[in-house]
Chains A and B, each alone.
Chain A
């Protein structure tokens, strides 16, 4: 089945935008849960979410919940907002309707209508969760339609490729977001200790103010499992993490899981494995495979750690750069008309 390069480009980017919208929704949701959960004296801020999407920091002084939510959900001038990514995904699907099952178009078109009319209201807390849930569900529904009704040929593979590259990237950003909040909490002199709830027996993270200055002992914030749980939830990984590790929720283990546990489909390694399988079925993938090999090597050697926000953040940035190179290789090989 022939696949025009131009159509390949639209499919690939359509898939990336849908995935970005879905993943942004997941992240906002779990981060919002986290902020609500944490005691009010923990100064966790909304602002790191903005950098998560690779966007420029917000201008002006508006950095509270409302401004950040507006920016990430509804702002049409933000290329990564849910509103923008869904609109772009719709435009890409609208122009590839001839290769997609028609239910796939209906699913995304319906989501676009919903997002267009509801995004502004979802900035507030009352309807936000329902809104985010709909974005996630419709994105999954779209993949369900393709999974069950689309011929396994190059158009389908190109769609998968877009999904997987974006997903791998978003998982590194979830880890990066965690790194940022470690840094932020530390800068503000907070750490957390873990205590057992005397009534329920559950382990809870309680924050307390400490004094922190250069040269002190590294702050022990490897117990802030609530935040690591939130990171896992951002990629719907909490349950699978627990089944896979049977261990406590602690930073290094969570980072290892999210990056390397290839059996989990949203882990970076899991995505790379699937990308490899997809490439094997696409015509002449050699140059892309070279970039994939390199990304895998970078991932294997990125040495993330989990305690030191700076190290973790830098590690994620190198992986993101390698994934960006992989995206460029796809672009040059498959998406340019000269290719």
Chain B
């Protein structure tokens, strides 16, 4: 199905004003606006980094001018569903690192935990502030043919893309200035301020005006633009591991031209395993020796908390509805995509029998890597996949092939439907915050379902439109 138009080609109510506006423009003018937007992206230096032939290339962010529109009423429901989901996930993580009641109660199998590559024994017994581990998360949503939104996966480690939500909006505002005045489109700009408040709340007790830093792996990281963007918007320092040091007092300091200065909160954008060579990978060049000591002593707040990734796992995903029931006593507001877990014999047998009709996913890869779409695979690829499943069943889950919804997209001077997903960002602390919409990623090749920008995907602005803003919901 299409997000903006019905099967008969009529615009959906929340997209009516947009479609009318687009159709009122001469095609040349629409193309012209697309070009202006692309020029803006170049001038503003909105980029992402791709690895190609061993080199890092800074590429202009791919953007399609036609936004994706969601009604405010539907969105409010999704917001509640995301807050519910992240609340339950955080309860689960906190439980795993402390009492493990969820295992004792037989809700989550103990052997899954033993196999987890993202469980960090070093984090046992830690009580982060607010009981929250995954402060910043991005859950990928897709809409199937039946019109239902599903959660496809939860990114709880270092999800990226939120900077493009804000920049896409800035670009769209200029490209479609007229239409913003005519409609009630929910603003997205508050995100960085909300993030700043959240990070501030993670400071050690008694620190009123904490020094917040964004810890980046460095300029060659694919998300460096975002790291820089967030630091800039929050007035935080952007640091690399070498800029930080942990003193004998187990406090974290940064190296400034005036000497060492105390750091209170770290928004880390590097993976757990590289955080602290004393505790994790001793070869890590981008981490900070002693960081875990400082964190455990309560001398620095770290977001997301080390170990939070334990729940960012395509196998654990299958249990999230159970966690929502177990911890909150509620039914999930947004459903999971039905997920078959290859670790269980009967589910594995089903997967192997029906492999050509399923999407096969490795449990711990991100960025869309390692995914096999059964209906598009060759027999040899399918046989190879079966072998991989049997060799390491826990590492594989399978889901029915969803038909992702589409949004009209400018392709070579024509408007054509292209498949999209949506990544909203959720902040969880003392309270929760969800971006108004999120990052809509679009698969540009005809029929493609791969939306990742590292694999040729594009992006769109996402509008949450309240048709009746006076209703005061």
The 0/1 profile, CB within 8 Å of B marked 1, for residues 1-26 of chain A is: 01111111000000000000000000
Contacts known (A98-B228, A337-B243); A3 close to B44, Cβ less than 8 A = no
B171 to chain A, nearest CB (A): 13
Stretch of B21-29, B132-140, B253-261 contacting A (4+ beta carbons < 8 Å): B253-261
Q: Is B243 touching A109 in the complex (CB atoms < 8 A)?
A: no
Return chain A residues, CB-CB under 8 Å to B240: 6
Q: Is A2 touching B242 in the complex (CB atoms < 8 A)?
A: no
Q: Which of A2, A8, A284 contacts B261 (CB 8 A)?
A: A2
A102 at interface by CB-CB < 8 Å: yes
Contacts known (A94-B45, A98-B238, A337-B243); A3 close to B257, Cβ less than 8 A = yes
B232 to chain A, nearest CB (A): 4
B52 at interface by CB-CB < 8 Å: no
Q: Is B45 touching A2 in the complex (CB atoms < 8 A)?
A: no
Q: Is B239 touching A4 in the complex (CB atoms < 8 A)?
A: yes
The 0/1 profile, CB within 8 Å of B marked 1, for residues 34-51 of chain A is: 000000000000000000
Taking each of B228, B240, B242, B257, which has the highest tally of chain A beta carbons within 10 Å of its own beta carbon? Answer: B257
B112 at interface by CB-CB < 8 Å: no
A125 at interface by CB-CB < 8 Å: no
Q: Is A6 touching B243 in the complex (CB atoms < 8 A)?
A: yes
Q: Is A97 touching B43 in the complex (CB atoms < 8 A)?
A: no
- Residues of A participating in the B interface, judged by any CB pair closer than 8 Å: 2-8, 91, 94-95, 97-98, 102, 105-106, 109-110, 113, 154, 158, 282-284, 333-334, 337, 339
Q: Is B232 touching A4 in the complex (CB atoms < 8 A)?
A: no
Total cross-chain contacts (CB, 8 A): 72
Q: Is A109 touching B43 in the complex (CB atoms < 8 A)?
A: yes
Q: Is A95 touching B242 in the complex (CB atoms < 8 A)?
A: no
B211 at interface by CB-CB < 8 Å: yes
Assembly CA distance A154 to B256 (angstroms)? 10
Residue of B nearest to A284 (CB): B258
B53 to chain A, nearest CB (A): 18
Report whether over half of chain B's contact residues are helix, strand or loop; otherwise say mixed. mixed
Q: Is A4 touching B236 in the complex (CB atoms < 8 A)?
A: no
Return chain B residues, CB-CB under 8 Å to A113: 42-43
Assembly CA distance A97 to B225 (angstroms)? 10
Q: Is A106 touching B43 in the complex (CB atoms < 8 A)?
A: yes
Q: Is B256 touching A4 in the complex (CB atoms < 8 A)?
A: yes
Assembly CA distance A233 to B229 (angstroms)? 40
Q: Is B255 touching A98 in the complex (CB atoms < 8 A)?
A: no
Q: Which of A4, A95, A282, A284 contacts B254 (CB 8 A)?
A: A4
- Residues of B participating in the A interface, judged by any CB pair closer than 8 Å: 42-45, 211, 214, 219, 228-229, 231-232, 235-240, 242-243, 254-259, 261
Assembly CA distance A202 to B457 (angstroms)? 67
Q: Is A97 touching B232 in the complex (CB atoms < 8 A)?
A: yes
Residue of A nearest to B214 (CB): A98
Contacts known (A3-B258, A5-B257, A102-B232); A110 close to B43, Cβ less than 8 A = yes
Assembly CA distance A334 to B258 (angstroms)? 8
Taking each of B45, B219, B243, which has the highest tally of chain A beta carbons within 10 Å of its own beta carbon? Answer: B45
Return chain A residues, CB-CB under 8 Å to B238: 7, 98
Assembly CA distance A2 to B237 (angstroms)? 8
Q: Which of B211, B219, B256 contacts A95 (CB 8 A)?
A: B219
Q: Is A283 touching B243 in the complex (CB atoms < 8 A)?
A: no
Return chain A residues, CB-CB under 8 Å to B214: 98
B64 to chain A, nearest CB (A): 22
Residue of A nearest to B232 (CB): A98
Return chain A residues, CB-CB under 8 Å to B44: 106, 109
Q: Is B242 touching A337 in the complex (CB atoms < 8 A)?
A: yes
Return chain B residues, CB-CB under 8 Å to A154: 257-258
Assembly CA distance A333 to B256 (angstroms)? 11
Residue of B nearest to A110 (CB): B43
Residue of B nearest to A95 (CB): B219
Assembly CA distance A334 to B44 (angstroms)? 30
Q: Is A105 touching B45 in the complex (CB atoms < 8 A)?
A: yes
Q: Is B255 touching A337 in the complex (CB atoms < 8 A)?
A: yes
Contacts known (A4-B243, A106-B43, A113-B43); A97 close to B261, Cβ less than 8 A = no
Return chain B residues, CB-CB under 8 Å to A105: 45
Given contacts A6-B243, A98-B228, A158-B257, 20 further A-B contacts (CB under 8 A): A2-B237, A2-B256, A2-B261, A3-B257, A3-B258, A5-B243, A6-B242, A7-B237, A95-B219, A95-B228, A98-B237, A105-B45, A106-B43, A106-B45, A110-B43, A282-B257, A283-B257, A283-B258, A337-B242, A339-B255
Q: Is A97 touching B228 in the complex (CB atoms < 8 A)?
A: yes
**Interchain residue pairs with CB less than 8 A apart (26):** A2-B211, A2-B237, A2-B258, A3-B257, A4-B239, A4-B255, A4-B256, A4-B257, A5-B255, A6-B240, A6-B242, A91-B219, A94-B45, A94-B228, A95-B219, A97-B229, A97-B231, A97-B232, A98-B231, A98-B237, A98-B238, A106-B45, A109-B42, A109-B44, A110-B43, A337-B243
